[in-house]
Structure 1
Amino acid sequence: MCVLLKNSSDVSHRATGPLTSCTSEANSRYSNMNEAVNSLWPLTLANSSLLGDILLLTFTCLAIWISGTWIYNFYLHPLREFPGPKFAAMTDLWKAHVELVQRRGIVEKLFELHSVYGDIVRIGPNELHFANPTAYDDIYNTNNRWTKEKYMYMVFGEPGANYSSFTTRDYATAKKRKDVLTPLFSRRAIIELQSLVQEKMTTLCDIIAVRSKEGLKSNLEQGFKCFSLDTITSFCFARSMNALRSPNFDSTTIHAMKAALPLLILFKHFPVLHWVVFAIPNWVNALLNPTLKGYQDLGKIIEDQIDEILFNPSILLENSEHPTIYHALISCKVSNPTSKSSDNRNDLSQPLSKKELLAEAWALIYAGTDTVANTLTMGCFYILDPSNVDIYDKLKTELLDAWPTFDEGVPSPTYEELEKLPYLKAVIKESLRFSHGIIWPMNRYVPSNGAMISGVYVPGGTVVGISNAMVNLNETLYPNPLVFKPERWLGGGISDNESNKMTVADVVSFGRGPRSCLGINLAYCDLYIAFANFFRRFHQVEISKGAGLKEMIWKESFTYNYFGPPFEVIATPSER
């Protein structure tokens, strides 16, 4: 054994002894080991030049691939003749730059582009957007069965899966699911359950009345959100969220749903973030963003109900006062989330999974909450503006004639009766025209054989779409489109020439064609009852300062959503 001697005399005395031979042997072994490590591990600092060469080669190949792709997209792609921003023609990052760097709505930008480039604009290497309303029926008409575009619809729900009828991209599979739910949302079914809608609206008006009597303002925008959330959850699940009972309608669930919407923009452009967010446990997400807790609370309620039903399906008959979506879906056998395909499996013999039931529930909640509440909020902004006092007076007069008294025992007008009021109907149509429903273009893939859209041939495989706003704000169809004018629906301001008849029949806020909104009948019932009750039950409504038309701030995140100052009111109840 070699021993390190502390005594220098010992060292000098034994310099030619065993220590010398041991040290030499050790140095030799260390040298051999170092050479072995270098030969087996080429990416060490000793070979940093090789690492640099590999990185340089990697970045060079990447640069060549990107440059080649951009050159192809710009000069050789089948869409090269269509006009649009050069950056957009080369890469989809153009849209990410608009929404995330410039912080602008993509539809807002599209209006600018169409004013420069015309009716058809290339907004991606393989994407066209249209402005002419005739393109709407070309893309979304009843006979078309075009597949939904992947990158827009994949942002909803769990990443990598298309579990709901809304997110399922191929028409055939989605139709089977939609056909199961259609009877629940039929006009007859809605009429039978309209008392549920009336109950929620009465609650909203009563709370506003009590607060106003105490001199307290009420947040009307949040109140409408709570009304529509309680309505859709009661209708679909026979379990209300009771958001209306939150102090000043300050529901944590409403806040969470609103906070989650901007995430769709991030998920759309950077799908990896979608996977990351869903991989993080709920309790961690709640710590990172406490606002999302209300979203998780609602999810827990829905999930517990689904677990209860899956464990004991007979509970549907025992505990539900009326049919729910689960009465229809629990026996539905149309898809399987274990599929390796982009949508669903081909084996249709198994019932829907828990994930599919959850996805369908969330799709209905968002659709039934945002679109209705946004329409009510938008309409009230315009009707209550001092410059539109004539609209307010006309609506009040019509409602007073149809609903002359609040005497106890006298029922409120039914949905069917309210539908017959022409000015109320015109107000609702105009409110829908301004709120748009889904504002993002609902993109589709053109079939492989191509298609004629707005009189122009578009190659197969192209992503195409047109925002509802392009139709609803078209100045040819609606002269002075930025003016809130219910009279235009009474024959006083809508173009009725032959080429535009497809739009005159109705606004497109609920979509068109085979993938149009499933809940249109419920939405109209909500709107008629809500507008009628609010403007009949209150004699005078005063908007708080700083919440008028000039201060309105609406932002795009799939739907239009209000992010302006609190839309607060004090309302004086009608005496009769």
Structure 2
Amino acid sequence: MIDILPLQGSPVVNVAVALTLTYQVVMCFYNYFFHPLAKYPGPKLAAISELWYAKNWYAVQARWAFTLLDASKKYGDVIRIAPNELFITSFEAFEEIYGHTNHSKGRKPFLKSEFYDNPDEMSPLGAERDPVRHRETRKMLAHSFSESALTQQVQFIMSHIDLFMKQIEKYGSHEKGIQVDEWFNWLTFDIIGDLAFGESFHAIEKVKSNPAVTALMNVLFTGSVKERKLHQEFARELIVKRIAKGDDRADFFGHLLGDEKTRPSEEFLRTNASSLLIAGSETTATALSGMTYYLLERPECLRALQDEVRGAFQSDDEINETSTRDLIYVDAVI
């Protein structure tokens, strides 16, 4: 066989390797001394490459939050955790980045990255990169998240929590117990389905996952085109049913459905309902699972939480969105 290009040990390979190494060294030097984020403190390895992030995130994911906490104690409120990334614990910075008042103050908004681009369909509020469209969408949805609107929605939330507690009492006493993270997912999907689509998935009632929930979880973790299409079609069907119910229901979209002339398009409702379903369910379930795990790992914290709640209320009927506002330890746990 004739070697057309004998690569092993050839000058071409040597030059390629040398150039690659030189480029890496130059980039490390640039990232550490001249990069726009070079002024921010943090681990030196994080400043020059993605290795620090990769080591702590991918290798020990369960400790990632504690790694960031330890880093913030050492370096302060703003930490450089990768060449192009900052970790921020400052409330003022949170308002500066995510607040909606920057435009009125004449400041340029912090645009989301290209990761959120979705050229094939309308973007939901949380993924909209265009400031003008984001402002318009936010204005349309603002009433759904006003204090008065959220107060009206409490009735739906409490009914699901009451059922959840009854089912926990019934099935949690079994020898095998229950898979608590799965149950938290059922609960949050039932609640957000009720608020976003006007229809619960009845997972807690039936003590099994709804096919829609399974499809959505597949969308989140596999992202396949097939699963996305199935989820979109299911969401469209639910929105059609929700529109048919009219505007007399105090959920996320009740106030938008009154006047047909000003009513948003079906695509707008479907896209934002799907986004709310994802944003308000899996994230909350994960947080609840994490809190449960860490409280059981720290009995003294669990006792402190129990003491505060039991000292504040004589019965569960007294627990509502108003009476829980001053529970300092509950807030700390969350």
Normalised to the residue count of structure 2, the TM-score between the two structures is 0.71
Contact 2:202–2:210 under 8 Å retained in 1: no
Which residue is equivalent to 1:150?
Answer: 113
Contact 1:238–1:320 under 8 Å retained in 2: no
Which residue is equivalent to 1:72?
Answer: 30
Which residue is equivalent to 2:332?
Answer: 433
Which residue is equivalent to 2:81?
Answer: 123
What does residue range 336-347 of structure 1 map to in structure 2 within 5 Å?
A: none
Partner Cα distance (2:181, 2:223) in 1: 30
Larger Rg: 1
Name the structure with the higher strand share.
1
Structure 1 residues 331 and 364: CA distance shift in structure 2, 3 A: farther
C-alpha deviation, 1:180, in angstroms? 0.9
Which residue is equivalent to 2:314?
Answer: 400
Which residue is equivalent to 2:243?
Answer: 316
Contact 1:184–1:324 under 8 Å retained in 2: yes
Partner Cα distance (1:363, 1:90) in 2: 35
Contact 2:111–2:129 under 8 Å retained in 1: yes
Structure 1 residues 100 and 393: CA distance shift in structure 2, 3 A: closer
Which residue is equivalent to 2:234?
Answer: 301
C-alpha deviation, 1:233, in angstroms? 0.6
Aligned to 1:128, the other structure's residue is in SS state strand
Q: Does 1:229 align with 2:189?
A: yes
Partner Cα distance (2:165, 2:72) in 1: 43
Partner Cα distance (1:92, 1:381) in 2: 29
Deviations 1:202-234 (A, max 9, x none): 322332344368777444443333222111111
Partner Cα distance (1:374, 1:301) in 2: 24
Normalised to the residue count of structure 1, the TM-score between the two structures is 0.45
Aligned partner of 1:181: which letter?
A: L
Structure 1 residues 260 and 147: CA distance shift in structure 2, 3 A: same
Q: Does 1:239 align with 2:199?
A: yes
Aligned partner of 1:47: which letter?
A: I
C-alpha deviation, 1:316, in angstroms? 1.7
Name the structure with the higher helix share.
2
C-alpha deviation, 1:92, in angstroms? 3.5
Partner Cα distance (2:329, 2:219) in 1: 28
C-alpha deviation, 1:171, in angstroms? 3.8
What does residue range 151-550 of structure 1 map to in structure 2 within 5 Å?
A: 154=116, 163-211=123-171, 217-247=177-207, 278=223, 281-282=226-227, 300-305=233-238, 308=240, 316-317=243-244, 322=249, 325=253, 328=256, 354=267, 358-373=270-285, 378=291, 382=295, 387=300, 388-389=302-303, 391-392=305-306, 395-396=309-310, 398-400=312-314, 403=317, 418-421=320-323, 424-427=324-327, 430-435=329-334
C-alpha deviation, 1:166, in angstroms? 0.6
Aligned partner of 1:150: which letter?
A: S
Partner Cα distance (1:138, 1:280) in 2: 36
Contact 1:181–1:329 under 8 Å retained in 2: no
Partner Cα distance (2:188, 2:165) in 1: 13
Partner Cα distance (2:209, 2:202) in 1: 11
Contact 1:230–1:243 under 8 Å retained in 2: yes
For the aligned residues, what is the CA RMSD? 4.6
Structure 1 residues 279 and 109: CA distance shift in structure 2, 3 A: same
Aligned partner of 1:147: which letter?
A: F
Q: How many residue pairs are counted as aligned between the two chains? A: 322
C-alpha deviation, 1:365, in angstroms? 1.2
Aligned to 2:58, the other structure's residue is in SS state helix
The range that moved more, 180-189 or 122-131, is 122-131
Partner Cα distance (1:99, 1:63) in 2: 25
Structure 1 residues 225 and 66: CA distance shift in structure 2, 3 A: same
Structure 1 residues 120 and 47: CA distance shift in structure 2, 3 A: same
| Highest RCO, 1 vs 2 (Cα 8 Å, sep ≥ 6) | 1
Aligned to 2:306, the other structure's residue is in SS state helix
Deviations 1:237-266 (A, max 9, x none): 11221111343x5667667766776x5xxx
- Mind listing any 5+ residue stretches in structure 2 that lack a counterpart? 104-108
Contact 2:212–2:234 under 8 Å retained in 1: no
Aligned partner of 1:400: which letter?
A: Q
Aligned to 2:314, the other structure's residue is in SS state helix
Partner Cα distance (2:119, 2:223) in 1: 8
Q: Does 1:95 align with 2:53?
A: yes
C-alpha deviation, 1:46, in angstroms? 4.8
Partner Cα distance (1:162, 1:97) in 2: 36
Contact 1:92–1:124 under 8 Å retained in 2: yes
Contact 1:73–1:90 under 8 Å retained in 2: yes
Partner Cα distance (1:125, 1:198) in 2: 45
Could you tell me the percent identity over the aligned residues?
Answer: 19
Contact 2:235–2:270 under 8 Å retained in 1: yes
Structure 1 residues 58 and 357: CA distance shift in structure 2, 3 A: farther
- Mind listing any 5+ residue stretches in structure 1 that lack a counterpart? 1-43, 264-276, 283-294, 310-314, 333-350, 404-412, 436-576
Contact 2:215–2:231 under 8 Å retained in 1: no
